[in-house]
Structures are given as C-alpha cells and as structure tokens.
Amino acid sequence: MGHIYGLNAQQQKFADKAASIAKKVLAKHAADVDANSRYPKESIDALSAAGLMGLCVPAEFGGAAQPPRTFAAVVEELAQECASTAMIYVMHVTAAQQIAAGNPADKAAILKDAATGKHITTLAFSEKGSRSNFWAPSSSLVANGDGFKTDATKSWVTTAHHAASYVSSARMPGAESPLASTLYLVRNKAAGVSIQGDFKGVGLRGNDSSPVELKGYQIPKGDVITEQGKGADGMLQVVLPWFVVGTSAMSHGLCLKAIAATSGHLQAAGIDFTSQKLRDLPNLRARLADMAVATDRSRALLGYTVGEMEAPNEMTPLRVLQSRRCAIDTAINVTDLAMKACGGAAFSKHLPVERLFRDARAGWVMAPTVDHLDDFMGKALTGLPLF
C-alpha cells in the first residue's frame, strides 16, 4: 500500500527507520521529557546515530538530500511518540536548509556536522518587538570593523541551550524598512549571547525553547548567511516551506497517535451494567470516525503539496499556506475529540491523549500563526501584495 505522502521505496526506508527509533527510544522517554520539561537527549542522540539529522542536507555535505515528502513522513513518525523531539528536529532541518541556500564562510563544515548531529542548528526569528511577525525584525545590524554588531531580544529559540548555531534575522545596516533584513548565524557559546531561563510551556515541553538576549553581539562577515537586505526572501522562500512541511507533519503525527490511543481505549474499557465496551456506543465511534476523516484529509493535502513543491507552479505558495492552516486546525480538533471520546481516562493522564492535546496547541501560536496564514491567503486570493 502506498504512503499518503507518495514515498518511493528508498524514501519509505527512511520513514521505517524513523518509526523504529520513535518506538524504541522516543516513546520510552516522552512522558518524562514532558513531565520534567527536559531536553530529549536520548532521542536526538539516536536520530544522530541513525543519520537522520542529515536527512535533507545536500549530498555534497554528507546528507541524504531527501525532498520534503520524506521529511514529512519522518517527522510524522517522530511526532507520534514525542512531539518535543519532532519540533527540535523540524527546526534543525529547516535551519540547515537556509544555511545550505545561503553562503556563510563555514557552510561546508557546519553542514557536514549538521548531517551527523554534531552541530544542531535552529531558528531565532521571533523578537520581543516583532512578536510573531517574524518577517519584520526589530533588531538591526550595525557595521563594525570587518563585520557587524547587534543587540536583540529573541523571544523564543527552540533548542536554545543545545543548538550550536541559530539562524537569526535583523534589519540590514541602514535599512529603511523592516523587510530589508539579513539572516546571520549566532554562535551559541559566543560572547554577547545569553539564554534567559528554561522553558515551562503548556505543550512541547521538551523543546528547550527559551528567550535569548544578544548584547553587543559581534558577527564576523563570514557568519552572514544571505545577501544584505535579502533576509525576507530566505525566510519566505526557503524557511517557510520547510517549516510548514515539518510542522504540518508534526500535527499529523499527533493526530495519528490520538486516533490510535482513542481506538485502543474504546476497545479496552467497558461498562458493567450493560456489558458493553465503549466501542459499542455509536456516539464514540462517530467521534473516532470524524478524527480519522479529518486527519487523512489534512495528510492528503500535505501529500499533494509536497508533490507540487518538487515541480512548483504559481499555486504552490498558496497550497503551502493551506497545508499548515489545515494541519493546525486538524490537530487541535482531533486531539479535542480524543479528549472527549476518552473522557476522564484522558483528563486524568491515564492515557497519553492530554499530552497530545497540549502539544497540538503550539502550532496555533507559532509563526506564521493561523491569523497570519488567513491574512496571507486572503491577500493572495484577492490579488493583494503580502506586505
């Protein structure tokens, strides 16, 4: 039977490998990672050892050069067992794509290490002043000797403590508009970088997402990733599509796990006085059916979109936005239905359903948020410029 994301035999092997690690390693630690808001080190180490951190890194740098459809299938497997791990993975793969598309001096060395998991990378776009409007940074680069200097309050950086680099954004020197931005690398351990505390969120509690303060941070010329003023192109043409594929697939993984957990519970639990299992109640079966239809509808849209991304046309950017919008909505609705179908067993944490419910909500507040997606899609459909 074919995979809904249209994988060939070689691509399916990557998904199978991810599924095996997810079941053997991620599943073992996920509850503890969530309960203690801790970094899923065992899981990231296992993905590194299996070569999956280099899944989409170009072959010339030692990666497997896999397209978005394989990425989606792998993330979906990871998210079924530990969405925090999946989130860290999505940020790493996405940031590595931007490094590969740009021209930092250490590009080859970084990508070779990114492919093995020795160098974990991530994104640092959101700022206190720009909030979720990631395409319009408040911070600026100032020319300084042979390089640049910046001050910035980055409000969320996934993998903040554990990533070696952050792909970061700022206005170019002398920018007349916040859209005239530049992407550059922040080296985590360098002077001027300070991580502000630990993450204690509602969901994705192991994703190590902390605010990061840059004070008088010196950027060598070689750590500039894009041409000056071309940062928004990188954010919208490289980062956004990969981030959308990854986060949509993460949403789908949460849905698939919610369906499996609900189905298992409806088959296992029963009511003595009627000698019925919960699955004998038509209202609960209907909820499960709704969950399954909604999930495969959203997965099918993503499967279509990743196909278009390999041969893009003028509709592809719209499909990318639609895919994320659909996946976020679907994950929130499906995990909510799972909470209702499983009742107190879900509410009391006897099932993993409430963790899925909390993890699914992160998609809504992550930029581009549902509000941004709707606005972008409405503009595209009425012939207005995005900004």
What single string gives the DSSP state of each residue in 163-197?
Answer: -SEEEEEEEPTT-SSTTSEEEEEEETTSTTEEE--
Give how many residues touch ligand FAD by CB under 6 A: 26
Report if residue 33 touches ligand FAD, rule: CB under 6 A.
no
Contact 340, 288 (CB under 8 A): no
Considering the complex, what minimum distance in angstroms separates the CB of residue 101 from ligand FAD? 18
Question: What's the token pair of residue 382?
Answer: 């009425």
**Please, which residue, 48 or 132, has the CB nearer to ligand FAD?**
132
Considering the complex, what minimum distance in angstroms separates the CB of residue 359 from ligand FAD? 9
Among 11, 158, 165, 181, binds ligand FAD (CB under 6 A): 158
Considering the complex, what minimum distance in angstroms separates the CB of residue 21 from ligand FAD? 22
Question: Which residues, 337 to 376, sit near ligand FAD by CB under 6 A?
Answer: 362, 365-367, 369, 371-372, 375
Give me Rg for the CA atoms of the chain.
21
Report if residue 186 touches ligand FAD, rule: CB under 6 A.
no
**Please, which residue, 112 or 154, has the CB nearer to ligand FAD?**
154
Report if residue 150 touches ligand FAD, rule: CB under 6 A.
no
CA distance linking residue 87 with residue 89, whole number of Å: 5
Q: Spell out, one character per residue from 63 to 102, where the chain touches ligand FAD: x when CB under 6 A holds, - when not.
A: ----------------------------x-----------
Which residues have CB under 8 Å from 275's CB, separation 6+? Answer: none
Helix (H, G, I), strand (E, B) or coil at 227: coil
Q: Contact region for ligand FAD (CB under 6 A) — 131-139, 222-230, 273-281, 283-291?
A: 131-139
DSSP 236: I
Among 131, 215, 221, 379, binds ligand FAD (CB under 6 A): 131
CA distance linking residue 196 with residue 153, whole number of Å: 10
**What's the burial of 145, exposed, middle or buried (CB within 10 Å: 0-12/13-18/19+)?**
exposed
Report if residue 125 touches ligand FAD, rule: CB under 6 A.
yes
Considering the complex, what minimum distance in angstroms separates the CB of residue 126 from ligand FAD? 3
Considering the complex, what minimum distance in angstroms separates the CB of residue 248 from ligand FAD? 15
Among 132, 138, 153, 218, binds ligand FAD (CB under 6 A): 132
Q: Contact region for ligand FAD (CB under 6 A) — 73-81, 130-138, 316-324, 333-341?
A: 130-138
Walk across the sheet containing 121-124 and list its strands.
121-124, 165-171, 181-187
CA distance linking residue 352 with residue 335, whole number of Å: 11
CA distance linking residue 160 with residue 211, whole number of Å: 8
Report if residue 133 touches ligand FAD, rule: CB under 6 A.
yes
CA distance linking residue 316 with residue 240, whole number of Å: 12
Q: Report the interface residues with ligand FAD, using CB under 6 A.
A: 91, 122-126, 131-134, 155-158, 201, 204, 207, 209, 362, 365-367, 369, 371-372, 375
